Amino acid sequence: MSQKIQAVRGMNDVLPSDAPAWQRLHAVAAEVFAAYGYAEIRLPVVERSELFKRAVGEVTDVVEKEMYSFEDRGGERLSLRPELTAGVVRAGIEHGLFFNRQQRLWCSGPVFRYERPQAGRYRQFHQLDVEAFGIATPDLDVEIIALAEALFRRLGVGGFRLQLNSLGTPAVRAAYRAKLVDYLRRFESSLDEDSRRRLSTNPLRVLDSKVPGTRAILEGAPQLPDHLDAPSRAHFETVQRGLSDLGIAYALNPRLVRGLDYYTHTVFEWTSTALGAQDAVCAGGRYDGLVEQLGGPPTPGIGFAIGVERLVLLMRAQEVPLPEAGPQVYFCRFGERADPAAAQLAETLRRRLPGLRLLLNAGGGALKTQLRRADASGARYALILGDDEAAAGRVQVKSLRGEGEPRSVAVSELPAQLAELLELPLLS
Ligand code: HAM
C-alpha cells in the first residue's frame, strides 16, 4: 500500500455526522439575515495580499504572521483571505455598491490563518459574516447586534456574554494610544516579551494580554472610555440605550480593542465559557474609515463575523435539535425485471413525496445483504422488490424498527401508503 496522505494541520474535514449541524446553522442564518433585509454576496477565497495589508493593518498579527501568501505563476502577490470584511468592501467599491446607497450584506465561507492550532482554533475555519454600509447612526449598531442575538436565539444556543466597548474616532484612538504608551513605558522591563514588542508596533493590543504580570500593570493603565470625545460618547451611550430597550444584556469591557486595525467607535464580542481558552464565538464593530481607505467613497460601515466551528461546538454541547438527515426508506431490489422497475418506482416516489429520503440499493447483493445495508443506513422501512413482486405489480414494505409485520402493497397504492407512514405530503 502507498503511504497515506493526511490533511494539513489545523484544517479539518466536516464528516457526514457533523454536517447536519452545519446545515442547520446555515439554514437558520440565511432565514434570519433575510428577515432583517440582508442580501447575500459571494466572494473569491483568494485576493491580492495588498488588500489585507491596507484593510486589516500591516502590523496586526493576522497580516504580519498569519496570512497564507504566495506568488502566482504570473508573479502576482496573493493571499488566502484571513477574514471576509476586506473582500466585501473591495467588492462593494469595485461594483459601485456604495454610491448614495445603503447596503446590508452577508457572506460566508472558509478563511485561513496560520495560527497555532488548538481546541477551537484552526488554520482553516469558517465565518458567517454580516456587513452594513452607508449608515453612521447608532441605530444601525443596535440592529447589527440584535441580528446576531436573534440568530443565537433562533438556533437555540445561549449562555453567551456580550461585551461592548467604544474605540471612538481615529483621533481619539491616536491620543489614547500615546497616553497608553507613556504609561506602559514606565513598566517596560516588567512587561512580557510579546507586549514589549507590541508597545512599539500596536500598543492597544497590549490591553489584550493574558499574561498575569502584564495584566497587573494594566490595572493602573489609562482607560479608553475615559478618553472619548463628546460625539463618540453620545454615540456609544445611544447604542447602550438601544440595546437595553430591546432587552439585550451586555457588559462594558474597556479593554476590548480587537485584533484588526480598521475599527472605530462600537466594538463587541460574544464569548462563552463553554469554549475554553478560545472563547469568542462572534465579534465585530464599526469601521467608518475603511471604505474610503480602500479607495471608495466615504462610507461608514459596521459588521461582525461568527466563527462557525465554535458555534457548531456550542450547538452540539447544548444539544440543539437537528433535522434528521439519513434515509427513511431503503429500497432492496433483485432480479432482471425488478432492477429497472425499482429504479423507476424510486424516481416516482421521490417526485410524489417531497421531503422523502429514499436510498435505492446499488451494487446488487442477496436479500440478506441488502437488508443488512438497509438496517445500517438507519432507515425506518425497507421496500423489497424481486422479479415475482414485479410481475405481480406489488412491493413488500418491511419495518426495520419493529413497527408491525411486513406487508405486500400494490405498486399503485405505495405512494399513498408511504405518505401516511412517514407523514409526508403526497403530490399527484
Ligand atoms: P475576528 O475576531 O478576527 O473578526 O474573527 C471573528 C470570529 O472568527 C471570532 O470571534 C472566532 O469565533 C472566529 N475565529 C477567529 N479565528 C479563528 C480560528 N483560528 N479558528 C476558529 N475560529 C476562529 C473578524 O474576522 C472580522 N472580520 C469581523 C468583522 C466583520 N468585523 C466587522 N465586520
Q: What is the pLDDT of residues 246-278, one digit of tens each?
A: 999 999 999 998 888 899 999 999 999 888 888
Does 275 share its domain with 150?
Answer: yes
Q: Which domain holds residue 95?
A: 19-168+228-317
Q: Which three cell numbers stand for residue 401?
A: 424498527
**Taking a C-beta distance cutoff of 8 angstroms, is the pair 140, 242 a contact?**
no
Q: Which three cell numbers stand for residue 392?
A: 405481480
**Which of 70-74, 198-202, 349-353 is least confident?**
198-202
Domain count, the chain: 2
| Cα–ligand 1 centroid distance for 84 (angstroms) | 9
| Cα–ligand 1 centroid distance for 305 (angstroms) | 6
Q: Which three cell numbers stand for residue 230?
A: 463628546
CB of residue 127 inside a 6 A radius of ligand 1: yes
Q: What is the reported pLDDT for 208?
A: 84
- As a whole number of angstroms, the distance between CA 290 and CA 261 comes to 10
| Cα–ligand 1 centroid distance for 325 (angstroms) | 29
Q: What's 366's domain CATH number?
A: 3.40.50.800
**Taking a C-beta distance cutoff of 8 angstroms, is the pair 125, 82 a contact?**
no
CB of residue 53 inside a 6 A radius of ligand 1: no
Write down the H helix ranges in 84-229: 85-94, 138-155, 170-185, 193-201, 212-218
Does 263 share its domain with 359?
Answer: no
Does 158 share its domain with 272?
Answer: yes
Of residues 242, 249, 84, 85, the one with CA closest to residue 153: 249
CB of residue 265 inside a 6 A radius of ligand 1: no
Q: What is the reported pLDDT for 422?
A: 96
Q: Which three cell numbers stand for residue 382?
A: 425497507
- As a whole number of angstroms, the distance between CA 249 and CA 355 comes to 39
**Taking a C-beta distance cutoff of 8 angstroms, is the pair 346, 358 a contact?**
yes
For the stretch 321-378, pLDDT in tens is 998 889 999 999 999 999 999 999 999 999 999 999 999 999 999 999 999 999 999 9
Q: Is residue 50 part of a domain?
A: yes
Report pTM: 0.94
Q: Which of 269, 297, 317 is the last residue of a domain?
A: 317
Q: Which of 289, 317, 345 is the last residue of a domain?
A: 317
Does 312 share its domain with 345?
Answer: no
Does 296 share its domain with 362?
Answer: no
Q: Which of 260, 289, 317 is the last residue of a domain?
A: 317
Does 301 share its domain with 362?
Answer: no
Average pLDDT for 130-151: 98
Q: Is residue 5 part of a domain?
A: no
First to last CA, the chain: 53
Does 294 share its domain with 365?
Answer: no
- Protein residue whose Cα sits closest to atom 1 of ligand 1: 283
CB of residue 284 inside a 6 A radius of ligand 1: yes
Report the amino acid identity of residue 369: T
Q: What's 285's domain CATH number?
A: 3.30.930.10
Q: What is the reported pLDDT for 210?
A: 86
| Cα–ligand 1 centroid distance for 258 (angstroms) | 10
Q: Which residues touch 127 (CB under 8 Å, ≥6 apart)?
A: 83, 84, 108, 109, 111, 305, 306, 307, 308
Residue 139, pLDDT > 90, answer yes
Q: Which three cell numbers stand for residue 318?
A: 447544548
Does 286 share its domain with 405?
Answer: no
Q: Is residue 116 part of a domain?
A: yes
DSSP 11: B
Instruction: Give the alpha-carbon dihedral of 175, 177, 179, 184, to 10 degrees.
Output: -170
Residue 136, pLDDT > 90, answer yes
Higher pLDDT, 403 or 412: 412
